[in-house]
Amino acid sequence: MSKLFMNRTKQLEADIEEFLDKVTISGLILLESVKSYINQESERFENQYKKITKLESEADELRRNIKHKLYSNMLIPESRGDVLGLLETLDDVVDTAEKVIEQFSIEKPDIPEFLHKDFLSLAELSAKAVDELVKGARSFFKEINLVNDFVNKVHYYEHEADDVEEVLKRNVFESKEIKKFSRKVHLRYFAEKISLVSDVAESVAERLSVYAIKRKI
């Protein structure tokens, strides 16, 4: 059976689809926030920050509602634990993206122009990792045989993000333009935080792969 949901779980399916949409959007907001910050579009950046804060709260509420429906209505008992585990770890992706944007809003790092491209690339790769993860999660519920295709793409984008992160940090610490060591450390911190989103996505993808194997057995 390729699909996890049957007719009596249609509302649950709709709730999970909505939750997955929010996870995807969190990655897009991360990317747009970094773009806005680098372009010094402060008002647009703060609007993105408000969006991710609202989204994070909505995702939490949805996850709790789904959990309640799974247990109170005794839905999909054979896969309930895995579904909850998947949703909880997917929620970590949203939380991580929200925290990254929050730190930008609070600390306001001074990013020199020669690093703009690297920071944008890092944000884009993290957003792509999140997007492929969500596609894999959708496949878990609808077309289980496709899960590993998307998991492999998450791995790819995470490794690409690692490479960009390393290059960015080397550029920071080798730079003659950046005089203060404390500023170099600050920039390194934000590079690591953006890259962390792809790391979390990869961690969730690993769990998703295991859940998919269990469903196939």
Distance between CA atoms of residues 134 and 152, nearest Å: 13
Q: Is the dihedral of CA 142, 198, 163, 33 positive or negative?
A: positive
* Residue 3 maps to a domain: no
Pairwise CA distance, residues 138 & 51, whole Å:
23
Dist CA 75 CA 65 (whole Å): 13
Give the per-residue pLDDT at 3: 58
| Residue 1 forms part of a structural domain | no
From CA 6, how far away is CA 88, in angstroms rounded? 22
Residue 143 lies in a domain: yes
| DSSP-derived 3-state class of residue 134 | helix
Whole-number Cα distances in Å, 87 to 9, 35, 99, 106, 117: 16, 28, 18, 29, 33
Q: What CATH number is associated with residue 209?
A: 1.20.58.220
200 in a domain, yes or no? yes
Q: What is the pTM of this model?
A: 0.92
Q: How many domains does the chain have?
A: 1
User: What tokens appear for 209 in the block?
Assistant: 């792969």
Assess contact for 131 and 202: CB atoms under 8 A: no
Residue 159 has pLDDT above 90, yes or no: yes
Q: What is the mean pLDDT of residues 17-34?
A: 97
Q: Closest Cα partner for 157 from 113, 184, 126? A: 126
- Tell me, what DSSP letter sits at residue 176? S
> Residue 216 is encoded by which pair of tokens?
């196939």
DSSP letter for 1, please.
-
Which tokens go with 122?
């890092």
Instruction: Answer whether residue 165 is part of any domain.
Output: yes
Structure tokens at 65: 């509602």
In-domain check, residue 98: yes
What are 179-207's pLDDT values in tens digits?
A: 999 999 999 999 999 999 999 999 999 99
Domain that holds residue 19: 8-216
Within-domain flag for 181:
yes
Mean pLDDT for 61-76 is 81
Q: Is residue 58 part of a domain?
A: yes
Q: Report how many helices (DSSP H) and strands (DSSP E) the chain contains, helices first.
A: 6, 0
